[in-house]
């Protein structure tokens, strides 16, 4: 991964060393419920909440309702967020489903999560979803509760699991003759962009003009992407198809850029993401809120990934970049 900046501190920043110091573990609680039962409930599709343990006399084990000797309840942050589903929730569930320690794994269901799982055609053997406001009675021997923090280092091997599922789905289901898109992801025209960080209008205008000229000279198909179609969120399958056709993706950090997971490695894709650097942190810390980091740095292996820091005058509301850094990316 390259950091494109005129600032020497940016270029010398040890982003991998910083990532290695981040805690990767969830908070874990182990409960031995023996002949008792534990109730969990889904709170607004965000997480599962443990409630009181029922007495053994009221809820004794039977063959029909016994879940197993080892049960896992997993809370991964923001299962109702498109990006987090791709880089946190689904990779973690794939990992847990494939290892043999647990008999059943419970987590919160959500329409966005289910849509992505159905699209990629992922089938679980052990995962059980608790839907909105649903209350579930769990009966077993040992229950482990994993509460994952919002900010943590992602596991590259778990990211590989979802990338393998995505690439296999595309190979078997998606046919396209387009492989030369240059996609610019804008936050300025989307009602789905909820957390500010709009690009300065004049700065974005200059960025778009530069990208269009580059496309004209290099036989690339320029595509402006804001995550929407006809004023509504674009379907997940259309987003997958669009980004699978991309040769280059450029844009500020935001959920639209999470779609780089759909890029075709055989197309030798290039990515340029705008993010916080050493001079200003409008979100996250120094070079730690970008999708190469959020996907466990897997993209270092399969893409040409580049970062451009936001300019010093950027704020959480409005951001800009030095366009000269983008010109360097396009060389």
Q: Are residues 175 and 130 in the same domain?
A: no
112 and 164 co-located in one domain: no
Q: Is the domain of 314 the same as that of 300? A: yes
Beta-strand (E) ranges in 284-325?
A: 304-309, 318-319
**Residue ranges making up the domain that contains 40:** 27-152
Q: Are residues 118 and 173 in the same domain?
A: no
Distance CA 209, CA 203 (A): 10
Segment (H or E) for 108: strand 104-108
CATH code, domain with 13: 3.40.50
Residue where a domain terminates, one of 152, 168, 193: 152
> In this structure, are 194 and 316 located in the same domain?
yes
User: How many structural domains compose the chain?
Assistant: 2
Residues 277 and 317 in one domain: yes
- In a structure prediction context, what are the per-residue pLDDT tens digits for the chain, which is 331 residues long? 999 999 999 999 999 988 888 877 899 988 876 656 788 888 877 788 876 555 444 444 455 678 888 999 999 988 889 999 999 999 999 999 998 789 999 999 999 999 999 999 999 999 999 998 888 888 888 889 999 998 888 999 999 999 999 999 999 999 988 999 999 999 988 777 767 789 999 999 999 999 999 999 999 999 999 999 998 999 999 999 999 999 999 999 999 999 999 999 999 999 999 999 999 999 989 999 999 999 999 999 999 999 999 999 999 999 999 999 999 999 9
Domain boundary (152, 168, 189) is at 152
CA dihedral angle for residue 74, residue 80, residue 82, residue 86, rounded to 10 degrees: 10
Q: Report the SS3 class of residue 74.
A: strand
Based on the domain organization, do 90 and 219 belong to the same domain?
no
**Same structural domain, 246 and 125:** no
pTM, two decimal places:
0.92
Give dist(CA 211, CA 195) in Å, integer. Answer: 25
């Amino acid at each position: 991964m390259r950091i494109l900046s005129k600032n020497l501190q940016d270029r010398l920043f040890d982003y991998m060393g910083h990532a290695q110091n981040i805690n990767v573990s969830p908070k874990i609680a182990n409960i031995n419920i023996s002949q008792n039962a534990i109730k969990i409930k889904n709170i607004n599709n965000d997480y599962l909440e443990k409630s009181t343990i029922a007495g053994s006399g009221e809820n004794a084990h039977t063959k029909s309702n016994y879940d197993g000797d080892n049960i896992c309840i997993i809370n991964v942050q923001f299962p109702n967020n498109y990006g987090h589903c791709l880089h946190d929730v689904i990779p973690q569930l794939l990992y847990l489903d494939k290892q043999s320690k647990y008999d059943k794994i419970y987590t919160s269901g959500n329409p966005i999560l289910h849509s992505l799982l159905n699209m990629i055609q992922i089938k679980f053997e052990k995962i059980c979803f608790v839907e909105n406001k649903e209350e579930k009675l769990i009966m077993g021997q040992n229950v482990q509760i994993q509460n994952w923090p919002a900010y943590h280092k992602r596991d590259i091997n778990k990211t590989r699991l979802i990338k393998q599922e995505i690439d296999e789905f595309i190979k078997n289901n998606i046919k396209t003759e387009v492989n030369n898109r240059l996609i610019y992801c804008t936050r300025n025209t989307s009602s789905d962009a909820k957390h500010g960080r709009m690009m300065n209008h004049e700065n974005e205008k200059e960025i778009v003009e530069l990208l269009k000229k580059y496309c004209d000279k290099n036989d690339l198909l320029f595509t402006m992407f804001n995550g929407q179609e006809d004023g509504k969120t674009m379907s997940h399958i259309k987003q997958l198809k669009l980004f699978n056709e991309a040769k280059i993706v450029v844009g500020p950090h935001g959920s639209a850029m999470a779609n780089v997971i759909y890029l075709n490695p055989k197309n030798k894709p290039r990515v340029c993401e705008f993010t916080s650097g050493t001079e200003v942190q409008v979100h996250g810390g120094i070079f730690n809120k970008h999708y190469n980091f959020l996907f466990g740095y897997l993209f270092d292996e399969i893409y040409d990934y580049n970062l451009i820091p936001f300019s010093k005058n950027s704020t959480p509301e409005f951001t800009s970049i030095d366009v000269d850094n983008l010109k360097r990316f396009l060389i």
